[in-house]
Amino acid sequence: MAELERKDIQGIVVSAYKHLPCAAYVLLRVSNPAATRQWIADRLPEIMASEAKHESRSVNLAFTYTGLQSLALKQDALDGFSFPFQEGMDAEYRSKLLGDTNENAPAGWDWGAGANPVDILLLIFGRDEKTVDAELQKQQAAFATGGLAIVKILRAGRQPNTKEHFGFADGIGQPVMEGTGNKQRQLERTHHATELPVGEFLLGHPNVYGVIAPSPAVKPEEDPQQLLAVIPPDATGLNAEAGMHDFGRNGSYLVFRQLAQRVSAFWNFLDKASCKADGTSDPAARDRLGAKFVGRWKSGAPLVLSPDRDDPKLGNENNFTYFDKDPHGVACPIGSHIRRSNPRDSLGPDAPTALKSANRHRILRRGRSYGHHLENPLVDDGAERGLHFICLNSDLERQFEFVQQTWINNPVFSGLYEEVDPLVGDIAKGNKLFTVQSEPLRQTVQNLSRFVVVKGGAYFFLPSFRALNYLAKLK
Amino acid sequence: MTHTVLTFVTKVKPDQAASLGKLLDQIGTNPETNAYVPFRSLNRLHFGSFVLHQSPDYGPYLVFENNFDGVLEDYLGDLYTLAANGLHQIYSCCLDYSVTSATDRQGMLSYLTAHVVRPNAYHVGNTGRCAERISQERDLRATLEQQADSLVRRGKATTAQGVLTALQQFVRSDPRFSWVMSPAGPRETSEQIFAAWSKLILVGVLAVVLLPLWLFPAIILVLVLRYKESTDSVQADSADSDKVTSLLETENHTASVQNHMASITIVKPGWLRRSTLWLVLWAVNLLARARATHGELSGIPSIHFAHWSMIDNGRRLLFLSNFDGSWENYLDDFIDKASDGLTGVWSNTINFPRTYFLIFGGATDGPRFKAVARDSQTVTNVWYSAYRELSVQGIDNSSSVREDLMNAADAATAQALLRRL
């Protein structure tokens, strides 16, 4: 495999910026395309590439379809993007498959749909709030001259630990991209690593099928300065026309969803569902039921390896499978969140086939929690908190949307009936049910409500440096 | 119990295609109880669909898909009794339909019979389970789940055998479930199993015995095929976006866990491709009858009914499928688990991704394969499922519960049964 062109790839692709725990996501709308192109040109030296690591901050830049359209990227290049990206996350039939119905419907979103469209996403990461504030201030100063209006500034702050708001360790299982050198690190941290081809996350490279997926390209005359890479004569990929200039190469689709978490509703529900016969709380049973929902204990210890109690020693452990170890879900329920969002080898017909198949639907997660930690998870403080879910993939339909539709929101996932992911699923699709497999008899948890609500979202494209430069020089 | 899987394929009068489309779309808004073809009343039917397909070369076609229990004769009787007027109105838009009144029973039935297309190959997920049984067992399972909840709530779920005994007592005492006492009967008769396997074995033996006769011609043909497949043109572009949009608009009904796929592809020109396709489908069917009788087709667990039919004298291939989950998942399952069989079939149709020796390559070019699949797909105007909230696995599971429920059990078998709840 050829070396990664690190200078051409934005930094967030290879790094989750764990050393930069604070972030601001600025959602922008283009009002003056010419000014915005100049603004992009001015940003180029500031944007972090994959080759280096800045110790205090990092800036990355992504665009929606309407953003690229308003910057006057040619229509034939725009047509080369994947359908979901062209249509946007809020298209009606996408809502059906993503589970964005009822309370989650785009009509109620704070941003990304109808009334509040977004063109550009500026991602700012910093080692502390002060650094982010300073960078944000500096960036904001350039918006007016850059022909940009702020739609929304979303903050993601440092959490007291690495846990998401429901209180569970997050971000343990994560595939790694070939060529990044992340495999070793992942193995050391979690004792497991699934290494996937570059083309699973970046356009213009062979994917898990060994082919190069369609990538937006422009005609040679649209790129007289040869800013973009030329598609070689032996290219065989779909839509790959030799001699065209590849706008998509080394870029990635970035999914952004603002997911508000109803922390106290979640824990109060668990409290009630796990209370003793006399109606009093049973904190141990409550935590246990919470772990059954998630598939890991609060520390992150997987239920498959530690079915009966939390074991912080296993907090980062990711070396486990289901097919042999827990085929019936007695340890980790079939419908639990981690088993749905990555079924590993559990879906059959045999373990190797199932694992191979599941690994064709992986995403690189880059999300962060936002809002303040709720001190007492049983008492609501009225504040909004949640997860700014961000993920990267090269094929929205086969990766992000597949996970969402076929695993998370599928009422008949893995032989179940009428239930969806108890944590993040589209509750309207199931029967508000969650089954906890156990012996001699399973238990069911009923009347679930929506614990996670979508507040906004959009599909972005995270271009390569060449493509950014090309955008800056468009006329 | 046997299933019948077939379609009625008719040519539509070109000037009537638009109005027929409107009528079908109207039926499509309420397939269960519409006034034309009230599918819910057809109690032998598992899945049914109407597809109006337009093609510049062949003109408009109407495909009426039926997957039902028992034999055609009985089903046609039901159709006439329940939908004579609606069908008369629909088929009045078709060529060579000369029936003048819906009261002409004989005329309508002979028209339909004359347009029956039996598939070259088909697959049934829950072989031998009739529609009535599937819905009975769904109700049984739902009731057992409630009983199980009640046992858990009352702290009575202490041993597997104890729980099973309680469930058995409940079922015995409830007259609604008297049918559970009588055995479900085998999914296939031993004659059917014997016939399917003996045919498969006979073909294998004959192939070996006659090897000297066919080997040399076969090598020549494979070489010709190899040359053809290296020069056949393949899909160049992504699927048509308007087409994909119109398909997505009809897919993923909120109240259903299933989807429908209808596609008509053009077979590559020449007798070699036509014969190859015929032979591959024949082999697929031979294998499916003998081996794919317990839910999975080549490791794919999510297909209720699927059929492949060569139409227009083998010049086009009609494919219809009723499956669980998303289109994306269905196609990926095909790529991941049955790429060779699928490539063996569709590589004989135009635009398919580059193949090697008929079954290699092809579908493994995921993006291109999906683009061809979307382009060849056609919008389903009317789609009916008798049990849209059930998966193949779910039906199988409920049936297994019923089959084992009343048997005396030791601790291990009792536990195995309770795992199914």
Q: Model confidence over A199-242: pLDDT tens digits?
A: 999 999 999 999 998 999 999 999 999 999 999 998 888 888 89
Tell me, yes or no, whether B263 and B369 share the same domain. Answer: yes
E strand or H helix that includes residue A125? strand A120-126
What pLDDT digit, counting tens, does each position of A401-453 carry? 999 999 999 999 999 999 999 999 998 888 899 999 999 999 999 999 999 99
Q: What is the DSSP string of B190-206?
A: HHHHHHHHHHHHHHHHH
User: CA-to-CA distance for A19 and B43, rounded, in angstroms?
Assistant: 63
Q: What is the dihedral of CA B284, B286, B289, B294, to 10 degrees?
A: -50
The pLDDT of residue A52 is above 80: no
Q: What is the pTM of this model?
A: 0.95
B259 part of a folded domain: yes
Minimum-distance CB partner of B365 among A211, A361, A428:
A211
Are A337 and A419 in contact by the 8 Å Cβ rule? The answer is: no
Task: Specify whether the CB–CB gap between A85 and A203 falls below 8 A.
Answer: no
- Average pLDDT of chain A is 95
Q: Which residues on B lie below 8 Å from A211 (Cβ)?
A: 365-368
β A176-177/A195-196 pair status: parallel
Model confidence at A54: pLDDT above 90:
no
Distance from B72 to chain A by nearest Cα, in Å?
Answer: 32
Cα nearest neighbour of A98 on chain B: B252
* Amino acid, res. A251: G
- C-beta of residue B106 within 8 angstroms of C-beta of residue B85: no
Both B213 and B341 in a single domain?
A: yes
Residue of B nearest to A396 (CA): B328
Q: 362-401 in A: which are within 8 Å (CB) of B? A: 395, 397-398, 401
pLDDT class for B187, splitting at 50, 70, 90? confident
Contacts of A445 (CB under 8 A, 6+ apart): A273, A289, A422, A433, A434, A435, A436
Burial class (CB in 10 A: 0-12, 13-18, 19+), A36: buried
Residues 325-364 of A with CB under 8 A from B: 328, 348-349, 353, 356-357, 360-361
Note whether B166 and B196 are same-domain residues: no
Describe the strand order of the beta sheet including B377-378 as a list of residue ranges: B121-124, B303-311, B316-324, B258-266, B377-378
Residue in chain B nearest A101 by alpha carbon:
B254
**How does DSSP classify residue A47?**
B
Establish how many alpha carbons lie within 13 A of residue A258's alpha carbon, considering only the half-sphere containing its beta carbon: 25
- Domain co-membership, B169 together with B204: no
Listed residues B74, B93, B118: the one ending a domain: B118
For residues B85 and B177, membership in a common domain is answered with: no
A394 touches A200 (CB < 8 A): yes
pLDDT at B88: 98
pLDDT at A112: 96
Region B206-219 average pLDDT? 89
pLDDT of residue B192: 87
Query: What is the distance between the alpha carbons of residues A212 and A240, in angstroms, rounded to a whole number?
Result: 8
Interface test with A, best of B326, B330, B365, B369 (most A CBs within 10 A): B326
Note the pLDDT tens digit of each residue in B223-259: 999 999 999 999 988 899 999 999 999 998 888 999 9
Q: Is the ipTM of this complex over 0.95?
A: no
Average pLDDT estimate for A1-7:
83
Q: Is B326 inside a domain boundary? A: yes
Tell me whether residue B124 is in a domain.
no
Which tokens belong to A36? Answer: 């915005």
Residues of B in contact with A441 (CB under 8 A): 148, 151-152, 157, 160, 163, 418, 421
B66 pLDDT more than 90: yes
Q: Do B80 and B209 fall within a single domain?
A: no
Tens digits of residue pLDDT in B386-397: 999 999 999 999
Lowest mean pLDDT among A132-146, B64-78, B231-245: B231-245
B329 and A397 within 8 Å at the Cβ level: the answer is no
Contact B257 A411 (CB under 8 A): yes
Looking at the domain assignment, is residue B167 inside a domain? yes
Number of compact structural domains in chain B: 3
* pLDDT above 70 for A2: no
Q: What are the φ/ψ torsions at residue A454 (nearest 5 degrees)?
A: -80, 125
A211 contact B CB<8A: yes
Please compute the mean of the pLDDT values over residues B13-23 and round it to a whole number.
Answer: 97
Residue A474 confidence class, pLDDT cut points 50, 70, 90: very high
Whether residue B266 sits in one domain with residue B222 = yes
Per-residue confidence band for A16, with pLDDT thresholds at 50, 70 and 90: very high
Verify whether the Cβ–Cβ distance B326 to A402 is below 8 Å: yes
Lowest mean pLDDT among A114-118, A358-362, B68-72: A114-118
For residue A410, give every residue at least 6 positions away whose Cβ sits within 8 Å of its Cβ, in sequence order, or none.
Answer: A420, B257, B325, B326
pLDDT tens column, B132-176: 999 999 999 999 999 999 999 999 999 999 999 999 999 999 999
Give the pLDDT band (50/70/90) at residue B51.
very high
Q: Taking a C-beta distance cutoff of 8 angstroms, is the pair B281, B121 a contact? A: yes
pLDDT higher than threshold 90 for residue B296: no
Q: Which of residues A121 and B192 earns the better pLDDT score?
A: A121
B322, B368, B410: best to mutate for the A interface, most A CBs within 10 A: B368
Per DSSP, the three-state class of B40 is helix
pLDDT band at A75 (very low <50, low <70, confident <90, very high): very high
Q: Do A410 and B325 touch (CB under 8 A)?
A: yes
For residue B303, is it within any domain? no
List, for residues B336-350, the tens digit of each pLDDT value: 888 888 999 999 999
Residue A40 host element (H or E): helix A33-43
Considering the domain architecture, whether residues B179 and B197 belong to the same structural domain is answered as no
Q: How many residues does chain A have?
A: 475
- The reply to whether B261 and B282 lie within a common domain is yes
Spatial contact of B335 and B364, defined as CB atoms under 8 Å apart: yes
Check whether residue B222 and residue B328 sit in a common domain. yes
The residue among B284, B421, B387, B379 whose CA lies nearest residue B341 is B284
| Partner-chain contact B326 A97, CB within 8 Å | yes
Q: Which residues of A touch B299 (CB under 8 A)?
A: 348-349, 353
Answer yes or no: is pLDDT of A1 > 60: no
Q: What is the pLDDT of residues A272-282, one digit of tens each?
A: 999 998 999 99
Q: Whole-angstrom Cα distance, residue A344 to residue A361? A: 10
Residue B126 lies in a domain: no
Same domain, B167 and B141: yes
What percent of chain B has a predicted confidence (pLDDT) above 70? 100
- Do B24 and B88 lie in one domain? The reply is yes
**CA distance to partner chain B, nearest, from residue A71 (Å):** 22
Q: Which residues on B lie below 8 Å from A86 (Cβ)?
A: 241
Does residue B295 form part of some domain? no
pLDDT number for residue A261? 97
Domain that holds residue B73: 3-118
